[in-house]
Amino acid sequence: MAQAIAAPAQVARPAKRASRRVLPGFGLTLGYTLFYLSVIVLIPLSALVFSSFTLTWEQFWTAVASPRVLASYRLTFGASFLAASVNLFFGLLIAWVLVRYRFPGKRIVDALVDLPFALPTAVAGIALTSLLAGNGWIGSLLEPLGIQLAFKPAGIVVALIFISLPFVVRTVQPVLEDAERELEEAATSLGATRWQVFTKVLLPSITPALLTGFAMAFARAVGEYGSVIFIAGNMPMVSEITPLIIIGKLEQYDTAGATAVAVVMLVISFVLLLLINALQTWQRRRAGASS
Amino acid sequence: MKIRLLLAALALGTSSIASAQTSLLNVSYDVAREFYKEYNPAFVAHYKKTTGKDVKIDQSHAGSSAQARAVNDGLAADVVTMNTTTDVQFLADNGVVAKDWQTKFPNDASPTTSTMLFMVRSGNPKGIKDWSDLIKPDVKVIVVNPKTGGNGRYAYLAAWGSVREKGGTDAEAADFVAKLYKNVPILAKGGRDATATFVQRGIGDVLITFESEVVSIEREFGKGKIDAVYPSVSITAENPVAVVERTVAKKGTAELAKAYLDYLYSDEAQEIAARHAVRPRSEKVLARHADVFKPIKQFTVAKYFGSLTEAQKVHFNDGGQFDKLYTPGK
């Protein structure tokens, strides 16, 4: 497969005519792309950064590094990582079942996956809280066993799993659909066990998609506010997420402090996404080399 | 064709300007929605009768300080009606409302007040009668996070002041408040969130919240399920109002805005307020609703804290008293 892609490039190279591109208008489209991206993403974000500039370095540091805020970073990123990891596995499972099997009600299940996308997050939060609270359907069964989910960090993880699930499923699904059955059949005919077929043939081809799904689920979870505040209990140092800290600072009319924390979140999220992207590129290159 | 379109657009534009002069935007807090829904038609009728002019009142509701921020950032409110003086003071500090807004209307520009009460489970199984009962080790207290809600700030100040009213020192008050928050299992984000936690999820033994909320819970869920408890003393929570000078100067609605807020002090408006469980300033109306508003000894924020703005600085800002007293997980 890698050779097939490489071949036309090699043909094209000798015919390098004053570096003219096949499609016209690259300059224009690139210019427009950068302009649009700036208007929609970069300018709002730079406004955020600039409004935190009213703080001195020391004020900035006390705003973003007080123990309470640090605890909230740990919780936000930790719970998001856990939730995305859980979805990495179960999202793959759901995508697998949806792609490989036929069963009655499949379309309904397929549509259900998208529900967390469309649902207002506050609705998800209220629903999950009333389900998991001590007098809810599930909470009342778990609490006698000493398991308390609502108003604990565990509840936050549950909410984040719920809202970030579609990201993994929807990125893995098309790739899984495109995976060539012939390759698996060839592997089987050459004597590979089903586990070997999965780990050696299928998994390498879907890993980049899985990583993308993971990254998106993670990013979504980090930014989540609506569903979490209902289920978190919002105790400082224990179950207070960073977005709540930001809201708290705004309630004190401490806009600069709020943006300072927001900037920190922005930087951490961006670095993490960049890392995952790099990991994905590396993975894709490695998978390409081995096949 | 194009000219006609332009004319139509122009006509539309001017008509919206014309209607803008006779419409008024009241930016308010969440729970006041029902009250103003009833107050607005009453005012429109009153205004028509006294001046012969038709007016239209628009209302906007969300969290009180979120609304104050929106107005500060340019939301064209003619009047603001809030539930904490800090929010109006913030607008005054930024020159959006008059510096001396508190003197522009009677009673420190707050036509209604509320106070903080307790809500307990039916029959009061833990025997909660007063503030001192809240620090018993087996009592779980539901309260709003003072960092995210005015409701929570008043609850904290009421608890603090209850010690001072009995002759305690600030140090004793701090000690009491610290003990109280040790009994708090969940910090709700806002008043309604706290109500849902206590009533619908069945968490906690006592809820500290506004009297108006207590009355509406009783109406919503029936008196049998939960009981209101009147502690020996509580705080006066003012609901301040102000004209947004910036907007009325631009729109020429100063007179209308003043009339709108003045009418809040009329017997008719005070009666509507009483029906919505906020304490009217009018003694006469208050006496008529004595069954709802049981007499309770109250102290003002000014008595122990100077003003809410000062209390905010000393107690609730990052690194303030609340942060010092309250560090769960340790």
Q: What is the pLDDT of residues A115-156, one digit of tens each?
A: 998 888 888 988 898 888 878 888 888 888 888 888 889 999
* Mean pLDDT value of segment A231-247: 86
Q: What are phi and psi of B142, to 5 degrees?
A: -100, 125
Q: Which residue of chain A comes nearest to B313, CA vs CA?
A: A252
Q: Which residue has the higher pLDDT, A9 or B272?
A: B272
Residue A121 lies in a domain: yes
Out of B90, B145, B329, the one facing A234 most closely (by C-beta) is B145
Residue A38 lies in a domain: no
Q: What is the pLDDT of residue A287?
A: 67
Q: What is the pLDDT of residue B11?
A: 53
Taking the C-alpha atoms of residue B158 and residue B315, their distance in angstroms, rounded to an integer, is: 13
DSSP state, B278? P
Q: Is the pLDDT of residue A114 over 80?
A: yes
Residue A95 lies in a domain: yes
- Cβ of B65 under 8 Å from any chain A Cβ? yes
Q: Is the pLDDT of residue B206 over 50?
A: yes
Q: Which residue has the higher pLDDT, A77 or A253?
A: A77
Q: What is the pLDDT of residue A275?
A: 87
State whether A234 and B189 contact (CB < 8 Å): yes
- Residue A71 half-sphere exposure, CB side, CA atoms within 13 Å? 17
Q: Is the pLDDT of residue A7 over 70?
A: no
- Does residue A224 contact residue A159 with C-beta atoms inside 8 Å? yes
- Cβ of B330 under 8 Å from any chain A Cβ? yes
| Positive or negative: CA dihedral B200, B204, B208, B211 | positive
State whether B318 and A136 contact (CB < 8 Å): no
State whether B201 and A134 contact (CB < 8 Å): yes
Residue A150 lies in a domain: yes
Could you tell me how many CB contacts below 8 A there are between chain A and chain B? Answer: 77
Confidence tier at B20 by pLDDT (50, 70, 90): very low
Q: How far does the CA of residue B324 sit from the closest CA of chain A (Å)?
A: 12
Q: Is the pLDDT of residue A4 over 50?
A: no
* Mean pLDDT value of segment B47-57: 91
State whether B186 and A234 contact (CB < 8 Å): yes
Summarised one tens digit per residue, pLDDT across range B77-119 is: 999 999 888 889 999 999 999 999 999 999 999 999 999 999 9
Out of A71, A130, A257, the one facing B201 most closely (by C-beta) is A130
State whether B188 and A234 contact (CB < 8 Å): yes
Closest CA to B282 of B297, B295, B271: B271
State whether B319 and A230 contact (CB < 8 Å): no
Residue A49 lies in a domain: no
Q: What is the pLDDT of residue A217?
A: 93
Helices (H) and strands (E) in chain A, counts: 15, 0
Residue A174 lies in a domain: yes
Chain B positions in Cβ-Cβ contact with residue A236 (cut-off 8 Å): 187, 323, 326-329
Count CB neighbours of A184 within 10 A. 16
Out of B66, B185, B327, the one facing A236 most closely (by C-beta) is B327
Q: What is the pLDDT of residue A182?
A: 86
State whether A151 and B186 contact (CB < 8 Å): yes
Q: Is the pLDDT of residue B309 over 90?
A: no
- Does residue B174 contact residue B220 with C-beta atoms inside 8 Å? no
Mean of per-residue pLDDT scores for chain A: 85
Closest CA to A172 of A85, A291, A88: A88
B270 contacts: CB under 8 Å, gap ≥ 6: B111, B112, B264, B280, B281, B282, B285
HEC secondary structure over A217-276: HHHHHHCCCHHHHHHHCCCCCCCCCHHHHHHHHHHCCCHHHHHHHHHHHHHHHHHHHHHH
Domain ranges, residue A221: 57-290
Q: What is the pLDDT of residue A289?
A: 63
% of chain B exceeding 70 in pLDDT: 92
Confidence tier at B18 by pLDDT (50, 70, 90): very low
- Cβ of B151 under 8 Å from any chain A Cβ? no
What domains sit in chain B, N to C, each tagged with a CATH number?
2-110+240-265 (3.40.190.10), 113-237+293-325 (3.40.190.10)
Q: Which residue of chain B comes nearest to A136, CA vs CA?
A: B201
Confidence tier at B225 by pLDDT (50, 70, 90): confident
Residue A124 belongs to a domain with what CATH number? Answer: 1.10.3720.10
Q: Which residue has the higher pLDDT, A233 or B28?
A: B28
Confidence tier at A10 by pLDDT (50, 70, 90): very low
Q: Is the pLDDT of residue B189 over 70?
A: yes
Q: What is the pLDDT of residue A142?
A: 87
A128, A140, A253: best to mutate for the B interface, most B CBs within 10 A: A253
Q: Following CA atoms A261, A266, A271, A274 in sequence, which dihedral angle do they give, to the nearest 10 degrees?
A: 170
What is the tally of structural domains in chain A? Answer: 1
Residue A198 lies in a domain: yes
Closest CA to B148 of A8, A152, A216, A235: A235
Cα–Cα distance list, A153 to A89, A156, B3 (Å)? 21, 5, 63
Out of B188, B201, B312, the one facing A252 most closely (by C-beta) is B312
Q: Is the pLDDT of residue B34 over 70?
A: yes
- Does residue A250 contact residue A208 with C-beta atoms inside 8 Å? no
Summarised one tens digit per residue, pLDDT across range A44-102 is: 888 888 888 888 888 888 888 888 899 999 999 999 999 999 999 999 999 999 998 99
> In a 3-state reduction of DSSP, which class is residue B105?
coil
| Positive or negative: CA dihedral B141, B144, B150, B153 | positive
Residue A240 lies in a domain: yes
Q: Which residue of chain B comes nearest to A127, CA vs CA?
A: B201
State whether B147 and A252 contact (CB < 8 Å): yes
